[in-house]
Every structure is written in C-alpha cells, then in structure tokens.
Structure 1
Amino acid sequence: MIERHSTTSGARFAFTDRWGGASAAPYDTLNLGGAVGDDPATVRHNRELTAKALGLDPAGVRWMNQVHGREVAIADGDTGPGDGPPAADGVVTARRGLALAVLTADCAPVLLADPVAGVAGAAHAGRPGLLAGVVPATVTAMRALGAEPGRIVARTGPTVCGRCYEVPAEMRREAERLVPGSGATTRRGTPAIDIPAGVREQLAACGVTDVALSPVCTLESPDHFSYRREGTTGRLAAYVWVDA
C-alpha cells in the first residue's frame, strides 16, 4: 500500500508500507532496498511496481547510496547506464517531474518541496545524519536552486518514535546538545532520542514551518519494516516530486 499526500500547488509526497510486493521473508513483501540481501531482480520488480502505481517512470526515480552522513547530491539531468546512485543522505533537484527517493527502516525520511520554485529535496535522517545536520544541509542545497524556506512544504514518513528509540544516557545528552529538542524518554522512563522532533526543530530553525510528521512508529507497526525490531528486513521508500 502507498500513502500519498499532495498540495494544490503541485508538491507530491508518497510513502510505502511493507505490503504489495514480491519479496520473500524476511523481506516480505514490498522491499525497495537494494543492499539488504534481497534478490536484486525482485527489488527491481518492486521498484517498478511502486513507480508505476505513482505514475512515475521507474528509470527516472533518483535514489541515493545512503551512508548516514550529511552530504547532499544534486539530481539535474539524465543518468547514464554506468551511473550509480551518489553516496549521500540528501538529494535535491530543480527539475520538475523528477522524483527523489529515500530508503528507511526506522530512520526518518524527510521530504521537502517548494512548488513555486519547482525545487524538491529528500533527506535520510537517522540518528547520525540528524546530528550531522543532513536536514539543514538539504534545505541549504534547495535554497541554492531557488527555493525559499517560507514556501517549502515538509513531510516525514514512518520512523521509530521517541517513546521507542531507547539509547544510552550519554547518547541522549549528546543528541540534545547538538539538536535541542531531540532528547526524549521511553515509555519505561529510559533515555531516548526523538528523531522526528529533532527534524521539526531543525526545519523550524531553517525557516520551514509547513511541517507534518508521520504518526506511524515503525517499531510498533507490523505493517512497516523496522531494523530495530527485525534486524534482517526490507526497506520502505518515500518519494517526492513537483509536478511538471
């Protein structure tokens, strides 16, 4: 199943769950991650199914080789047969109709669009990327392409919530120091990090105020992949583009 969001001005957002694909356990069934041990042909099939369901050209979706950093790539043209996805955790484009994708299985997919400028961005915000600043780096890259923070629409997808993401106390202190508002407490009263809250605070500091956070916690939801719950598992995908 694909959850879709759109704006009247042409910004498009989509988030997948784990169902409707062809992957076998433990990747069942709509695994869209190509580096988790699943059959490559099946992953390609799943990506084609998803793209076509969204009305996109499967060959035109821009993916990243995500490395838990803050590098941001620019997708500005057609790729050649030997071109692989860039090693980055953020990608931006000023090409209307070009879809950007981010893979997650507990990390936060952060989708951004300025439909007036025709600029889109996607960021992979796990704990390392959040603390490294991949979200503000992606907004900065979008601004360089003509986007204005006050016009940017931001949506996050399913991610582990702050009530479930337990971490050592020192890690929470470091997160709160680097990204105020990201320190949290689990339901059991133990230290935690709230990635979506940290993303929201970073976006606000960048001047982005039209922000909606997904209510879905991947660790709690059996309909979504969760690395913390399952270890070996598939990957969800989130897509963003601006209508041509």
Structure 2
Amino acid sequence: MFYWRAEVSAGVSVAFTDIQAGNLALHVGDNAGRVLQRREALENAAGITRGSLRFMEQVHGTSVEMMEPATPPATADAMVSRGLPLAVMVADCIPAVLVGQGPGGPVLAAVHAGRPGIENGILPAAAARMRSAGATGIRAWLGPSICGRCYEVPADLRGHVAEQVPATWAATSWGTPALDLPAGAKSQLEAAGVFIEYAGPCTLESDELFSYRRSRRTGRFAGLVWSHE
C-alpha cells in the first residue's frame, strides 16, 4: 500500500502510496463507493482517525488553503494545517508534503505541484503560508513524479516555463525538449529556505505507480502527511 513511509519527526509521519492502495481519486471515472473504501483503508493502515484525512479538489491553480477541523473540502492546490492530516493526489505531478514546527505543534502542508504550479510558485506560496501560521524549520518530501528524462514538451513550452524557473530546462533521454519539474521544485524550495529531505523516483519509469503519461485512463496515488498527536 505504501511506496514510501517514515516518521519524520516526533509524532509526524509522511507517506506516498502505490498502485496496491488503488485509485484514490473521485474524478477519474472510478466507482465512488470503492474509492471511499480505499481512502478508509488508507486511513486505517496509516493509523489516521477515520474520516479526518483531507483531500483537495485540485485545479492546477495557485490557491493555498488553511484547513481547520470544521473547514469544508478545499478547491485548491495546496493545504496547510496545524496537524490535521492532509493528502495530495497525483499521477505524474509532484506530490509535495512539508513539515514545520509551530508554537503549538507541527504545521503541515500538502501541495499539488504540476507544471502550472511550478511555473506559478505554488511551493514557495505554501511555505509562506506555513510561516504565516508560525512554522519554522520547514522541510519537504517530494514524492514520485515524472522526471526530466521522460517529460517531453513542445520547445516553446519548455522555453516559456524555463524563463520563470530556469532549473526546469531539460531534454528527454531521446534528445527532445523536456521539463524537469523535480529540479524546478528543488530550486524553488531551496530559494525559500526549505530543506529537502526526500525526492522520489520517476512515475513513468515505475510500474508500481500510476502515470498519466503511460496511460490516460489511470488512477491517482497520494502523498500524505499527518500528526499522531
């Protein structure tokens, strides 16, 4: 069920699921009841209180929402909480989770960082929102995503994105224009003073993970961050 999982600090865990956990998204044509059952099984496996894991309606935007226990589901591409369990779903985009320490406990974030998000600074925006909530010592875990060797794009799109985020400029392993979103994410987080603890492998290169580039009819795996306190 978990591709990678670790307790990253006292009382805080991070995990990324794999295809064994099944599709966790409601927007890909899957049976909604089965998706909700998988989400419940995921909570049970992680030791998260049933029904407390927050998912976003992800729209490739730049909105960062602060989540409280009574906050309704967010239409956003980043969520921040003071310990509330958070999830981000992907199938090639970067599932980024961030952890900082606030005055009253951990401050967490889950970020959907695709090409538009990297281009428009969703990751530094999430880090800034965490700091506004009192977070210090922010660290990041970048889950599996498509790599620069595989993410082929038109030359004009590569040039446009690289104007905003130079580290994204790349070429595929077969020599065509590409974007390296993980490199762009790392450059933005480092510039924002965020230490990167982990970066996952390429989704297209791993049969253990969903990849939209491999198949348009595919599910979504998740990045999770939660507090045990």
| Residue number in structure 2 paired with 1:189 | 175
Which of the two has greater strand per residue? 2
SS at match of 1:118: strand
Which residue does 1:12 correspond to in 2?
13
Partners of 2:189 and 2:196 within 8 A in 1: no
Q: Give the Cα–Cα distance (whole angstroms) in 2 for the partners of residues 110 and 190 of structure 1.
A: 27
Is 2:31 the partner of 1:39? yes
Distance 1:206 1:243 in 2: 27
Alignment partners' CA distance in 1, 2:111 and 2:9: 23
Question: Contact 1:165–1:193 at 8 Å: present in 2 too?
Answer: yes
1:124-139, aligned counterparts within 5 Å?
Answer: 124-139=112-127
* Deviation for aligned residue 1:11: 2.9
Identical columns (%): 44
**Equivalent in the alignment of 2:43:** 51
Listed one character per residue, the Cα deviations across residues 149-204 of structure 1 (whole Å, up to 9, x for unaligned) are xx112101111111000001111111111112111111011111111111100001
Match of 1:146 in 2: 134
1:67-126 Cα distance to aligned partner (Å, 9 max, x none): 0011001111235xxx4x2110000011x3x21000000000010001454100011001
Q: Structure 1 CA distance, aligned partners of 2:138 and 2:11? A: 12
Distance 1:132 1:228, change over 3 A: same
TM-score with structure 2 setting the length: 0.95
Unaligned runs of 5+ in 2: none
The correspondence of residues 1-244 of structure 1 with structure 2, limited to 5 A, is 1-2=1-2, 3-20=4-21, 30-79=22-71, 83=72, 85-94=73-82, 96=83, 98-115=84-101, 117-148=105-136, 151-214=137-200, 216-244=201-229
What is the total number of aligned residue pairs between the two structures?
Answer: 226
Tell me how large the CA RMSD over aligned residues is: 1.3
Q: Following the alignment from structure 1 to structure 2, what is the Cα–Cα distance between the partners of residues 155 and 101?
A: 13
Structure 1, gaps ≥5 residues long: 21-29
TM-score (normalised: structure 1): 0.89
